[in-house]
């Protein structure tokens, strides 16, 4: 199953398809979940867990409306994480698997993001650990692939420098060693070239301002994207000089 990755709060599509090449493992997990549900709730509609709507959710809606399938409303609700017919709670491992599959649909997640979601849903730690480890084994959770795709997308799409990318990946719970390896794909020359492109796009909007204000605005824009003071000042000075500005007596912007 191939899906296009769209990163949160990034308008540009980026990164590889979700699943990181583990489509077979993904299908196996979905199939196992479907077999378990089928054994408990009886016959299902022909749509099955692979039908449009995602992991049986479409089938659940059809069952409730009575338009297709023979599944009862209680079996449909069970597929959505609600208690089963007799009022007994679902197995926590099954709940954890369903939550993770839904969260991974369309958007890759780190292990910590999924663990936090399971904790919020009060899934027992033992059940959460079992499911998360299983998902790592089949490649549905891959923090290294996530970090590499994040760096690629956010640098080329938003122009973020290594320092900003490190901050973002830390907030998502990626291990420091994994972060270092991911941001290592950006060398200093590539980072500086991206900084020059950012300044060139912003330069026109600063024309008409006094020289010092232009410097502060452009250098501040680079700083917010994670570029260091030395690189930001050098890139902005050069851009202003190319427009004929005298930068020898410019105030320091930081």
| DSSP type of residue 69 | -
State pTM to two decimals. 0.62
Query: And the tokens for 253?
Result: 């912007």
pLDDT confidence of residue 248: 66
Task: For the chain, give the mean pLDDT.
Answer: 74
Query: And the tokens for 131?
Result: 């499911």
How confident is the model over 92-137, as pLDDT tens digits? 999 999 999 999 998 899 999 999 999 999 999 999 999 999 999 9
The domain segmentation of the chain, as residue ranges, is: 92-137, 142-186, 187-243
Give the least confident one: 30-44, 54-68, 125-139, 220-234: 54-68
Give the least confident one: 106-115, 167-176, 187-196, 240-249: 240-249
Report H helices in the chain: 23-41, 57-65, 73-78, 92-104, 111-120, 125-137, 143-158, 162-171, 176-183, 188-203, 211-224, 229-242
Phi, psi of 34 (to 5 degrees): -65, -40
Q: How many angstroms separate the CA atoms of 18 and 142, rounded?
A: 10
| Residue 82 pLDDT greater than 70, yes or no | no
Both ends of the chain: CA-CA distance in Å?
A: 49
pLDDT confidence of residue 245: 74
Q: How many angstroms separate the CA atoms of 239 and 217, rounded?
A: 13
The average pLDDT across 58-67 equals: 40
Give the least confident one: 9-18, 20-29, 101-110, 138-147: 9-18
* CA-based nearest residue to 123, from 98, 141, 86: 98
Q: How many angstroms separate the CA atoms of 163 and 145, rounded?
A: 19
Q: How many angstroms separate the CA atoms of 92 and 126, rounded?
A: 9
């Amino acid at each position: 199953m191939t899906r296009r990755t769209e990163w949160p709060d990034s308008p540009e599509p980026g990164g590889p398809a979700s699943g990181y090449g583990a489509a077979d493992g993904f299908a196996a997990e979905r199939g196992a979940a479907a077999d378990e549900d089928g054994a408990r709730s009886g016959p299902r509609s022909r749509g099955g867990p692979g039908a449009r709507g995602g992991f049986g959710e479409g089938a659940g809606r059809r069952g409730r409306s009575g338009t297709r399938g023979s599944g009862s409303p209680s079996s449909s609700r069970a597929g959505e994480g609600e208690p089963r017919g007799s009022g007994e709670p679902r197995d926590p491992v099954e709940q954890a698997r369903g939550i993770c599959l839904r969260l991974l649909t369309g958007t890759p997640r780190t292990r910590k993001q999924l663990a936090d979601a399971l904790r919020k849903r009060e899934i027992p730690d033992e059940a959460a650990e079992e499911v998360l480890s299983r998902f790592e084994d089949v490649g549905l959770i891959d923090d290294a692939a996530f970090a590499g795709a994040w760096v690629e997308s956010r640098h080329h799409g938003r122009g973020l420098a290594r320092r900003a990318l490190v901050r973002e990946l830390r907030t998502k719970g990626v291990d420091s060693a994994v972060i270092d390896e991911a941001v290592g794909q950006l060398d200093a020359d590539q980072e500086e070239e991206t900084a020059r492109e950012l300044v060139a796009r912003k330069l026109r909007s600063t024309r008409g301002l006094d020289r010092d204000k232009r410097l502060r605005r452009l250098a501040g824009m680079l700083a917010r994207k994670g570029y260091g003071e030395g690189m930001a000042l050098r890139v902005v000075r050069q851009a202003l000089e190319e427009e004929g500005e005298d930068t020898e007596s410019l105030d320091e912007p930081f």
